[in-house]
Amino acid sequence: MIKKFFITGTDTNVGKTFTSSILLKKATKAGYDTAGYKPVSSGSKKKSYGIINHDAMILKMNSSITLSYTEVNPISFLENAPPHMLSKFQKKTIKIEDLSLGLKKITAKSNWVLIEGAGGWYTPLSYTNTFSDWVKKEQLTVIIVVGIKLGCINHAILTEKAILSEEIKCGGWIANYILPNNRYNIHYIQTLLNYIKSPLLGIIPYFNNKNKINIEKIKIRLP
C-alpha cells in the first residue's frame, strides 16, 4: 500500500521543508522507499541548467529513491509570490491534472510519498482552485506544520477545522519552534492540545544551524 501525505503550514515560512526532510529520513529508516514531491514552487533561482527551487532540492536530496529535479518539482516560478498570480502574469497555467500526473509518476517508483504545498492550506493555484481542492481530489492525508509564534493558535485551529470540514483526513500536527528562547512556547503547545483533535506527532526544537542537526534526536513519529 502506498502512503501519501500532504504537508501544509499555518502560514508561509513555518518550516514545512525542514519538517518534510525529517519525515522523509525517518520513513526511509523505517524501511520505506521514500519520495518528496513539490508540485508547485516559487522563489526559485535560474541556473545554466534550468530553474531550481531550494525547497524542492532539499526534498530531492532526502528522498531514498532517485528522482530527477523535474519529477520532484514540475512547476516552478522565479519570483517569490503566490503561484496563481505568477501563473497569470507569465501565462503559465497550473493544471490540476498536471499535479496528479506528476504524483502518479512518483508513486510508481515509491511507497511513501511526501507532498509539500506552498504557503498555507488555501493557497490558490488559480482564481478558481486552491491546493486544498487538489488534496481532496487525490484523497491525501494532511500533516500540519505549526510555526510556534504569536498568532499560531488561531491559525492552527482554523487550519485543522478547514481540513476536517472538507472530510479530508488529518494525520496530525507538528510543532516547530521557529523563534529562540520564547518562554511561551510550551504554553502554545498546551493550548493547542486542548483545541486540536488530530494527534501531536512531535516537536522540533529551535536550531541555530540546521546543517549540524542529528535527526535521530528529534522526536517525531510517522503518521
Catalytic center residues: 38
Helix, strand or coil for residue 55?
helix
β-sheet bridge partners, residue 130: 124
For 107, the grid coordinates are 508513486
**C-alpha to C-alpha distance for 161 and 127, rounded to whole angstroms:** 23
- Contact in structure between 146 and 14 (CB atoms under 8 Å): yes
**C-alpha to C-alpha distance for 102 and 95, rounded to whole angstroms:** 11
- Contact in structure between 166 and 138 (CB atoms under 8 Å): no
End-to-end CA distance of the chain: 15
Exposed e or buried b per residue across 14-24, where buried means at least 16 C-beta atoms within 10 angstroms of its C-beta: bbbbbbbbbbb
- Contact in structure between 160 and 197 (CB atoms under 8 Å): yes
Radius of gyration, CA atoms only, the chain: 17
Q: What is the DSSP letter of 199?
A: P
Residue with the three cell numbers 496530525: 172
